[in-house]
Amino acid sequence: MEKGHSARLEKVENMIRLINRMAGSTEGISLMDIMSEYRVCRRTAERMLNVIKAIYAAQLEEVDNGENYKAYRLQELYRQGPIKLSPQELTCLTKAVKLAERDKLSNLAHDLKALESRLKAICKHKDLLDSEYFSEIEDVGMVAGPKYKVDSELLSKIRNAVTNWQEIVVTHKLRATGEIKKFQIQPYGILYGTRPYLVAYLPEEQDYRYFCISNILKAEMTDIRFTRNEQFSLKEYAERSFGSFQEEPINVVWKVSSNRAEDAVNYQFHPSQTIERQTDGSLIVRFTAGGMKEMCWHLFTWEGDIQILEPESLKETMHHLLDKAKKSL
């Protein structure tokens, strides 16, 4: 009697496990999977699957896995069951919405709000309350300071062109000279930071470059679709520069004074950086990147606590910018 009860209990446990597996699977579960995992014959596996078909007729979905056998998952349970969000994760999404609103990225803010609403709809009430609490104590929406304005309709056009692999013609005002020029480009992605930048390929120049979106006066869609270069990495392209200037990378060596060393240890100047502690408490920072002018702009924020050791060309750029700044006093 005890043995029969144990066998029945095992069958129930197997059914519960199978339901959970099918609810959490993206590729689906096949008869062979059931036979292998639960060590049953094909006939028993078919019976198990028939039970699920009878109970979850509306939710059972056949998955196209590109194989010669059928696989199944529980569609509605798959969509809702595996998703578990912590209050901290919900808070991160709330922060992202506030940051997008703060920087006037209305399209991005709209999309994030829609995602936030959908995820909150499947969360427990306590998780929502906790996330609201975390949001209050880690508010990022009211940070003051200068911001670059970006036209929401313009940004929407650019994003559509990026996602549809569609060439656009942009009317761009050059920051250095104020000259206005038109470029027909293949947009690859948008980088958000102090300024939002569009990274695009210029067929005429056969090269990639940055376009400051706040300096794009107009964007016109074309009917030309392009084939994206799968070898191009937006992340790697961004890491070639310090900021937005794409120059020939140089080997940079800075010395951080001992009184700002702890600040610098917790700061990433560039993804390629290495840091060496010195006996006097100072730090030596090394990295390779282009963009000397933006390096100098950044060094101003350290108020003289970072010394340029190498290269000489970076020192010369700093002297030049200091001379220009003095003339405005």
pLDDT attached to residue 111: 77
pLDDT attached to residue 86: 66
pLDDT attached to residue 116: 74
pLDDT tens digits for range 152-162: 788 888 888 88
pLDDT attached to residue 132: 53
pTM for the model stands at 0.49
pLDDT attached to residue 24: 66
Q: Which of 218, 273, 204, 212 is nearest to 245 (CA)?
A: 212
CB count in 10 Å sphere of residue 171 = 14
C-alpha–C-alpha distance, residues 160 and 242, integer Å: 28
pLDDT attached to residue 200: 92
pLDDT attached to residue 170: 95
Low-confidence ranges of the chain (pLDDT < 50): 1-3, 5, 78-82, 133-146
Q: Which two three-digit tokens encode residue 298?
A: 């950044």
Query: Please, how many CA atoms are within 13 Å of residue 216, restricted to the half-sphere of its CB?
Result: 28
Looking at the chain, how many residues does it have?
A: 329
pLDDT attached to residue 8: 62
Q: Which CATH number fits domain 2-80: 3.30.70.100, 3.30.930.10, 1.10.1040.50, 1.10.10.10?
A: 1.10.10.10
Per-domain residue ranges for the chain?
A: 2-80, 87-137, 152-229, 250-327
Domain 152-229 -> CATH class = mainly beta
pLDDT attached to residue 45: 87
- CATH topology for 250-327? Alpha-Beta Plaits (3.30.70)
